[in-house]
Amino acid sequence: MKPAPFDYVRPDTIEEACAVLAEAGGGAQVLAGGQTLMPLLALRMSQPFIMVDINRIAVLKGIVTGPEGTRIGPMTRQNEVIADAALARALPMLVTAARHVGHHQTRNRGTIGGSIALGEPAAEMPAAAVALGASVTLRSVRGSRTIKAEDMYLGPYATVLEPDELLTEISYPAWPVDSITIFREIAQRPGDFALVGLVGTVVVENGRIARAGLAWFGMGPTPIRARQAEAALLGQDIARLDGRGLAELAVADTAPFDDHHASAEYRRTVGRRIFARTLTEALNVRQAG
C-alpha cells in the first residue's frame, strides 16, 4: 500500500524541528532513518498529518569519544556506528550489537537514535543503551531533560517521549578499554527480530568481576536489565562462576511472552542457556588471551 497523504517539512535546526512538533500537537511524526516508520506508513498503521524529516539537521549526527564517555548524535546511521574505529575501542559491545540490526541496506539509512526512540522490545540498540548505562537527552520548546535509557521504556513501542519531544543525544558512560563484550542473539534468520537476545559488558579486575551491565531484548515488553544477575556477578571469581545459578537469576528479571514465533517458556529456556554459555565463553576467551 501507499502512505496516506501528509505535509512534509525538513527543518535545518533542532529549534525549528521542536517548534513544528510543538505546533502540531501530536499530529506530527519525526522521520529519522525511516526503516521502521516507512513500513508503518505503507501499512497505514501510522498516519501523521505532518512529517518532520530531521535528516538534514547536521548537529544530530556524529560520534565523539572521550575519557568521560561517548556521545552519539541520534541521526548517526547504524553502519556509521559499525565503521567508527574510535567507538570500536571505546564501546566494542555497541559495535557488535549494531552489526545485528536489520540488514546492510537498512543500516545505511537506519539510525541509532531512531531505534532507541522507537522502543521495539526485540531490538538491539535500546537494550545495548540500557546495558551500558546510557542516558538520552530529550528536547522540546519547553526545555531539555536527560534521563536514563532504562527509564525510557514503558512497553512495546511506548516510551516516555512526549509528542513534542525530540531525542537529541545519546550519552554512554566510559567503560575500561579491556571490557568484555557479552552478545548473543537467537533469530530465525540474520536480520530478523530476536526471539531471545542478551547484550552486556563485563569488567574483570584481578580475576574478579568489578563491573557488569547486562540487558535482555525480546524477553518482555521492553529491554530489560538483568539486575539480579549483575548484582550477583560483582566480586565473583571468574574461575568459579556458577553459570547456571546466574542464568536463573538473569531470567528471573524477564517477562517473556507467547507469540507465533516462540512460546514464553521457549524464550526462558533459551535465555538460560545462552546466558550461561555466552558468559562462560566470553570470560574464557579473555583467560586464554
**Site residues for another protein per CB under 8 A:** 1-10, 31, 34-35, 38-39, 41-43, 51, 53, 55, 79, 102-106, 108-109, 189-191
Q: How many CA atoms lie within 13 A of 202 on its CB side?
A: 32
Q: How far is the CB of 222 from another protein (least distance, A)?
A: 24
Query: Of 191, 261, 186, 250, which Cα lies nearest the Cα of 224?
Result: 250
- The residue among 76 and 179 lying less far from another protein, judged by its C-beta, is 76
- The residue among 38 and 160 lying less far from another protein, judged by its C-beta, is 38
- Number of other residues whose CB lies within 10 A of the CB of residue 172: 22
Q: How far is the CB of 276 from another protein (least distance, A)?
A: 28
CA angle 272, 274, 275 (to 5 degrees): 65
Q: How far is the CB of 48 from another protein (least distance, A)?
A: 10
24 in helix, strand or coil?
Answer: helix
- The residue among 106 and 269 lying less far from another protein, judged by its C-beta, is 106
Q: How far is the CB of 63 from another protein (least distance, A)?
A: 18
With contact defined as beta carbons under 8 Å apart, do 57 and 11 qualify? yes
Q: How far is the CB of 82 from another protein (least distance, A)?
A: 11
Output DSSP code: residue 235: T
- The residue among 191 and 221 lying less far from another protein, judged by its C-beta, is 191
- Number of other residues whose CB lies within 10 A of the CB of residue 279: 27
Which ranges in the chain belong to alpha helices (H)? 14-24, 37-42, 78-83, 85-90, 92-98, 104-107, 112-118, 124-132, 227-233, 243-252, 264-288
- The residue among 82 and 182 lying less far from another protein, judged by its C-beta, is 82
In whole angstroms, give the CA distance from residue 101 to residue 116: 12
Q: How far is the CB of 283 from another protein (least distance, A)?
A: 26
- The residue among 51 and 226 lying less far from another protein, judged by its C-beta, is 51
- The residue among 34 and 69 lying less far from another protein, judged by its C-beta, is 34
In whole angstroms, give the CA distance from residue 152 to residue 9: 27
Output DSSP code: residue 59: G
Q: How far is the CB of 114 from another protein (least distance, A)?
A: 12
